[in-house]
Amino acid sequence: MEAIGRYRILGELGRGAMGVVYRAQDTTIGREVAIKTIRLSEFTDDAERQRLRDRLFREAQSAGLLSHPGIVTIYDVAEEGDIAYIAMECVDGPTLDRLITTDPPDGALVLSLLSQTAAALDFAHKRGIVHRDIKPANIMIHEGRNAKITDFGVARLQSLQMTQAGSLVGTPNYMSPEQIQGHAVDGRSDQFSLAVIAYELLTGEKPFAAESIAALAYRIAREKPEDVHQLNPTVDWPVNTVLQRGLAKAPADRYPTCSDFAFALENACRSCRRWRPLPPGASQQMATVAGTPAPKLVPPARVTQPDLRDATPAPGSEAAPTPAPRFLRVLRLLTALMLAVGLAAALVITGLRYLDERRDAAVTAAVSPGSGTEDPGATGAPKPSAMPQAELPGDNTTGPTLEPQPDEPTSAVTTPPAPGSPPEPDETATPGTRLVTNPPGALLVVDGSSDLSCQAPCTLALSKGRHTLAATLDGYRRTLRILEIPKEDEIFLNLDRSSGTVMIRSEPPGAAIFINGDARSERTPAMLTLPVGRYTLDLVWEGRRESQDVQVKDAAITNVAIAFPAR
């Protein structure tokens, strides 16, 4: 193709499901533009084709009124032969999806691009225009830092083409639950799509993925995505809270505007020290690195003492030494120096611990009746004089010993607390975390340990830090939750009943639906969510009834198609 309308074709920019995108020049004013062509011949019915053409022109004209730096400007819409085309601003730069794979943006650029995109979407939403197809491929990056949304006015036609063909064009990873179920959409649908992009930018993974479009549609409509901090340990629970709200199934549960979402996400990310986004596929490696325990520092005395015991003879235990090579003398000197340092450290630590114990014992003796009269030997506990002392290898003499004075209550060191007195606090344990489920009775297991399990409602004493809580109950889906102790002292889990989706179609459409004899408000075509089990499905159309048994499986989609015989 050399030209279309008044535009001279300069080259091809890309191909899509509906046509080709060209770089072109407006021969009237010399401006370079991008031409998106749409093959109306894809629609075989003449009346339908005309209706869609009219809708395309109306949508493009409405989108042409959007003058915003974050939106690719539409200049013209026209038709030539069986091809409709839109002339729009030509942006020099990659799309966001290409940038993600070739040169992943850093944290500051990620937040900036999301904020710019959100502002542009809000601008359109205030004028009653919804994009309906927000995804990385429709966000252009100009000059490496400016986001521009493209394809306003085209997405609606694409959705109509999907309906006409009876199948989805491409993979709807970024569609909102209401959109994928065919319900009415508003600006909050675009916000959901923006939250999907944000999730992908932060973790390198899409929140919803499946091997088939039917399974993907189910997950978008019914399942909660994995917590973001499980995939990217550099971010914490505030980021997950913001993303989960942006990805809420019900539009009313999301943020009022896209900018509100972007602002909340930016604040949450900045609250995490050293956070960073992950490139595609990096979450698995990140999880492995994060799960590797840090190396522990070993006290020098414990490492060197066994070797030095063999290398250094006890004083006076050998005859006059024979002259040794110089390097042996240096080695012995270094050995003695290291030993002295280790001994000094051991003495200081031992002394401090002992003084702390004596101080605590004195307090216990003062507040516990009879604590000073008990015989330490009766309890079998070691006396203070039996405390291990650091000593030179091969030498029976010790450093200064910290012995209690005769007038001090030595038994207080090992006296057990009096009956009813509170136990000594554990620095790593918490008073207890209250665990509640709806419905109650779920088996709760923390960190996969049977020692940390109970039946809800219950209370578990958990150490400080991050834990994984698993809840299982017959008839309900297994639920996982990350706990932050001691940030959370009470956990409430709302369990989802095990259920599946039944997609019902009839020919002709509009049949009434009955499940086990009970009438439903929906008419075919319809998508129903039912608890796991076996059902009798009845469709009634113009007084005729067709029945079919349906088996609903957990997290599965069952397709039912019933055709009423012609009269």
The candidate with the shortest Cα–Cα distance to 345, out of 304, 384, 308, is 304
The pLDDT confidence band at residue 161, using thresholds 50, 70 and 90, is: very low
In whole angstroms, what is the distance from residue 503 CA to residue 552 CA?
11
Q: pLDDT at position 17, please?
A: 60
Check for a shared fold between 96-163+185-283 and 499-563. Answer: no
Strands 449-455 vs 443-446: parallel, antiparallel or unpaired: antiparallel
Name the 3-class secondary structure at 148. strand
At 65-121, the pLDDT tens digits run: 788 999 998 898 888 888 888 899 999 889 999 999 888 889 999 999 999 999 999
In whole angstroms, what is the distance from residue 403 CA to residue 385 CA?
6
The pLDDT confidence band at residue 296, using thresholds 50, 70 and 90, is: very low
Tokens at residue 55, please?
Answer: 């809708």
At residue 133, does pLDDT exceed 80?
Answer: yes
At residue 426, does pLDDT exceed 70?
Answer: no
The ranges assigned to domains in the chain are 3-89, 96-163+185-283, 433-494, 499-563
- Percent pLDDT > 90 in the chain is 35
At residue 418, does pLDDT exceed 70?
Answer: no
356 against 169, higher pLDDT: 356
Q: What is the pTM of this model?
A: 0.51
Tokens at residue 319, please?
Answer: 């005859």
At residue 248, does pLDDT exceed 90?
Answer: yes
At residue 8, does pLDDT exceed 80?
Answer: yes
- Give the range among 337-341, 390-394, 534-538 with minimum mean pLDDT: 390-394
Per DSSP, the residues of 264-308 read HHHHHHHTSTT-----TTHHHHHHHHHTSPPPPPPPHHHHHHHHH
Q: Which of 26, 106, 122, 133 is catalytic?
A: 133
Q: pLDDT at position 118, please?
A: 95
Query: Rounded to the nearest 10 degrees, what angle do helices 326-367 and 300-311 cross at?
Result: 130
Q: pLDDT at position 429, please?
A: 52
CATH code given to domain 3-89: 3.30.200.20
Mean pLDDT of 297-309: 40
Tally of CA atoms within 13 A in the half-sphere of 322 that contains its CB: 1
CATH code given to domain 499-563: 2.60.40.10
- Give the range among 134-138, 203-207, 270-274, 294-298 with minimum mean pLDDT: 294-298
405 against 233, higher pLDDT: 233
Say which CATH architecture domain 96-163+185-283 belongs to: Orthogonal Bundle (1.10)
Q: pLDDT at position 496, please?
A: 80
204 against 429, higher pLDDT: 204
Q: pLDDT at position 517, please?
A: 93
Q: Is 360 a catalytic residue?
A: no
At residue 341, does pLDDT exceed 70?
Answer: no
In terms of DSSP H, where are the helices of 168-212? 177-180, 187-203
163 against 27, higher pLDDT: 27
Mean pLDDT of 480-491: 81
Name the 3-class secondary structure at 454. strand
At residue 10, does pLDDT exceed 90?
Answer: yes
